[in-house]
Amino acid sequence: MNHMTNNALSTAADDVALVRAWLQRFEAALKAQDAGRLAMLFAPESHWRDLLAFTWNITPHIGAADIAAALAKAVSTTGAHDFALAEGRTPPRRVKRLGMEVIEALFTFATRLGRGDGVLRLPAEVPAQAWVLLTTLEELTGFEEKTDKRRPSGAAYSHNFGSDNWQDQRDKAQAFTDRDPVVLVIGAGQAGLGVAARLGQLGLDTLVVEKHDRIGDNWRKRYHSLALHNQVHVNHLPYMPFPPTWPKYIPKDMLANWFEHYAWALEINVWTGTEFLGGDYDVKAGHWRIKLRRADGTLREMAPRHVIFANGVSGIPKVPKLPGLDAFKGDVIHSHSFTSGAAWRGKRALVLGTGNSGHDVAQDLHSHDVATSIIQRGSTTVVSIDPSAKMNYAIYDEGLCLEDCDLIATSGTPPLIIRGYQLAVQRMAELDKDLIAALKARGFKYDLGEDGTGHQMKYRRRGGGYYLDAGCSGLIIKGEIGLLQFDDITEFVAEGAKLKDGQIVPADLLVLATGYYTQQELVRRLMGDAIADKVGPIWGIDEDGELANMWKPTAQEGLWFMAGSLAQCRIYSKYLALQIKAREEGMVPRGGAS
């Protein structure tokens, strides 16, 4: 059995005292609305990120003066009070964050409308001034989630002989024959199901529409060999973690079937085989006019007050104009439609694009004895899944519970996120130096991101431009999968790709792993130019460094966007749902982003 030394016990007790003292001074300065006193509590280079608690938005502030002014201004309406260490959670501890030794503590507080959680980091050398502060609104008073001790009794359908049982009630709820939903969610992937589960816990009548025939088909119908590239413990959905027996890297069909089970277990109303045809917003009525086409071809018009696009970072496959492509006699498909290379066994293929999809498709084709070459259009970041890519989720390997990991992972402002990725990429480049050198020797164009932030910031900025190596890089290095540069191709001809030196690279198949149009383009096609232009870019980096129009109010009233990894969807689904609930209960004014 391990025992803490007296010195360690003393240090831990001292750290608890330091955190409590800071929280007490912070609350007193807030109560006085004294920006000067508040500024004294923060280091000159400090960071505060707020999720709803003070700002009803996802809001970063940088620097002591800016933080203090914003806090002093917001507290009069927020009424934040009762700041205290979080009981029953990870106690204050000394850790290194971005190379700095800090005292990291989780705390709780209350506002006029609900309960909040937060993260505080005090530099170990100057613990009187905070380096990092996170404040989040976790629940609304009177509208707490119905979990654990608050779970429903079941009286609504138990022992009600002669009346509707649970299944009858579920069938009626899902049919929506006598009502419209308050919230319509487009897409039944991790984003749509996660936010629908959260909305259901807040008592908001929600319908998810999915164009595929089954829940999970957005994963099930993707290429045969697909599996998640990060580990299982990072990827749980809200309320219902994956079984502890599951593999570290979840195969697509396993995940797809789980989504189907999840929707049933969380009592989520889903219409599959249903296409969202578009709609417009009725300002006077305060709701949308939406058209849906059901699986049987019938049309249904609905009037939800909120619409959430939850169909991914991007939706419509992008097919570039390629010189001579009309003359090509082989098959041409987008990677979005690719499932397996089995049909082309013994033939020849070209794959255009060196992102995750391009590499995975090329590897799948190679595994089916298809002579395959991959065509690189631009410089690409390649990262080993293990050990390098795992480094971005190091917090989840610190032995803390998922709830605490999520809170800590959410605390970074954009500058801290960039700094963290830069430090991680330096280590990744060292770990992957042999892989990188071998790829470059083959003529592969490689980069570490525009500012040394690697694949993670590429994902945030444009949703692509990188590959997490599941084995294809080794095949390229060994020459088992060919490598062509797009700049060396003059045009496509009947037989394949014609190079500048006159050589023709023969092909029976061309797979376009060329990405997708942005969500803004999808909104434009479904809801018109006016709404698309009003909302602006969706995903990518906004002026404040946060993701644009993601998980927060947009300029269009009642229009929201939910996307990201399974971890992002688990975390931010709560905050999106709380924003909608607060508007429905009149706690905050209706309307778009200010």
pLDDT digits (tens, 9 = 90+) for 21-39: 999 999 999 999 999 999 9
Q: 34-86, pLDDT tens digit by residue?
A: 999 999 999 999 999 999 999 999 999 999 999 999 999 999 999 999 999 99
Pairwise pLDDT comparison (583 vs 5), residue with the higher score: 583
Domains of the chain, first to last: 6-140 (3.10.450.50), 176-315+518-584 (3.50.50.60), 319-514 (3.50.50.60)
d(CA 137, CA 56): 9
Q: Is the pLDDT of residue 317 over 70?
A: yes
Least confident window among 161-165, 441-445, 569-573: 161-165
Q: 482-515, pLDDT tens digit by residue?
A: 999 999 999 999 999 999 999 999 999 999 999 9
Q: 135-162, pLDDT tens digit by residue?
A: 999 999 999 998 888 898 887 766 666 6
| Average pLDDT of span 452-468 | 95
- Give the pLDDT confidence score for residue 223 in this predicted structure: 82
d(CA 403, CA 235): 12
Pairwise pLDDT comparison (229 vs 573), residue with the higher score: 573
Q: Is the pLDDT of residue 7 over 70?
A: no
pTM: 0.94
d(CA 499, CA 315): 32
- Give the pLDDT confidence score for residue 163 in this predicted structure: 84
d(CA 575, CA 52): 7
Tell me what percent of the residues of the chain surpass a pLDDT of 90.
89
Is residue 352 within a helix (H) or strand (E), and if so which, with residue range?
A: strand 348-352
Q: 413-437, pLDDT tens digit by residue?
A: 999 999 999 999 999 999 999 999 9
Q: Is the pLDDT of residue 1 over 50?
A: no
Tokens 């045969």 belong to which residue?
224
| Average pLDDT of span 258-285 | 97
d(CA 220, CA 159): 39
Least confident window among 1-5, 88-92, 258-262: 1-5
Dihedral pair phi/psi, residue 95, rounded to 5°? -140, 165
